[in-house]
Amino acid sequence: MAATAAHAHAGDSGERFNIGRVLDLLAPEFPGRISIPKIRLLEDDGLINPERTPAGYRKFSDADVERIRYILTMQRDHHLPKKVIAEHLDAIDRGLQPPAIMPTTPTVPDFALGDEGLPTAELFERRDNLRLSRKEVLKVAEVSEEFLAGLEDARVVSPSRSGHYTTDDLALVRAAQQLSNYGFHAAAFRVFRNAADREADLVRQAMSGRRDADEVEPGVAALAAQLHGLLLKSSLRG
């Protein structure tokens, strides 16, 4: 892998992949550790350098994919910081062998570093064209008209100008319905809404002025949501 991770394009006249295909190739091997924003961030950090079409689209070679695989492996298996990985890649690019990676014992169990169930960048990137009627939301979420109206008053969901709802709205209604089984009511849902608005403002402030804001915002939002979830867990455990 080290040899192929080096020269991304030199002597490589094979197939080129778009960024979505790269994600498809690597996601099964690195679940929860690879996303389109992360691939873009690796380029911003100078760790990869895919070709660009005249229209500006990224095109990745087999060597690019191997280089990303090397980076992800060093992060997952050895927890190396990007600065050290960059030094490895520089050595490889110059025809040298990267330093041997010695196992470190004891080490943190994999489950302690896992992010199973936490929001991902893909969640914040997801868009669809589904438009659900009010009647469909009530039926699928199995809630009453009164309950849905209460969520709208609390600004948890809001129909579009055409009166339709998105799949995200549906997910919000279903989550709120489940929480209501544990005694959560409109006042509590307003607290969640206000907290989310404040966190969204923080993300927007962090992205303000960045030329790549549209590309990195989903990843930043996912990290903020993960931090929120872990802090909530910490608070509940005292």
Domain shared by 89 and 142, yes or no: no
The pLDDT, as a whole number, for residue 13 is 57
Domain shared by 138 and 101, yes or no: no
Percent of the chain surpassing pLDDT 90: 61
Q: Is residue 99 part of a domain?
A: yes
Q: Out of 45-49, 127-131, 186-190, 215-219, which region has the weakest mean confidence (pLDDT)?
A: 127-131
The pLDDT mean for the chain works out to: 86
Cβ-contact 226, 32 below 8 angstroms: no
pTM of the model: 0.55
State the SS3 of 8-75.
CCCCCCCCCECHHHHHHHHCCCCCCCCCHHHHHHHHHCCCCCCEECCCCCEEECHHHHHHHHHHHHHH
Q: Is residue 145 part of a domain?
A: yes
Q: Is residue 94 part of a domain?
A: yes
CA atoms within 13 A on the CB side of 161: 0
Q: Is residue 185 part of a domain?
A: yes
Domain shared by 217 and 152, yes or no: yes
The pLDDT, as a whole number, for residue 96 is 86
Q: Is residue 232 part of a domain?
A: yes
Containing domain of residue 163, as a range? 124-236
Continuous segment of H or E residues that includes residue 90: helix 82-93
Instruction: Single out the residue in 42, 73, 105 at which a domain terminates.
Output: 105
- What's the CATH code of the domain at 92? 1.10.1660.10
Residue type, 184: F
Q: Is residue 142 part of a domain?
A: yes
Domain shared by 201 and 154, yes or no: yes
The total of structural domains in the chain comes to 2
Percent of the chain surpassing pLDDT 70: 88
CB atoms closer than 10 angstroms to residue 47: 17
Cβ-contact 59, 53 below 8 angstroms: yes
Domain shared by 73 and 137, yes or no: no
pLDDT band of 184, cuts 50, 70, 90: very high
Instruction: Tell me whether strands 51-52 and 58-59 are parallel, antiparallel or unpaired.
Output: antiparallel
Q: Is residue 25 part of a domain?
A: yes
pLDDT band of 97, cuts 50, 70, 90: confident
pLDDT tens digits along 3-60: 344 444 444 557 899 999 999 999 999 888 899 999 999 999 999 999 999 998 999 9
Q: Is residue 114 part of a domain?
A: no
The pLDDT, as a whole number, for residue 119 is 80
pLDDT tens digits along 76-88: 888 888 889 999 9
pLDDT band of 98, cuts 50, 70, 90: confident
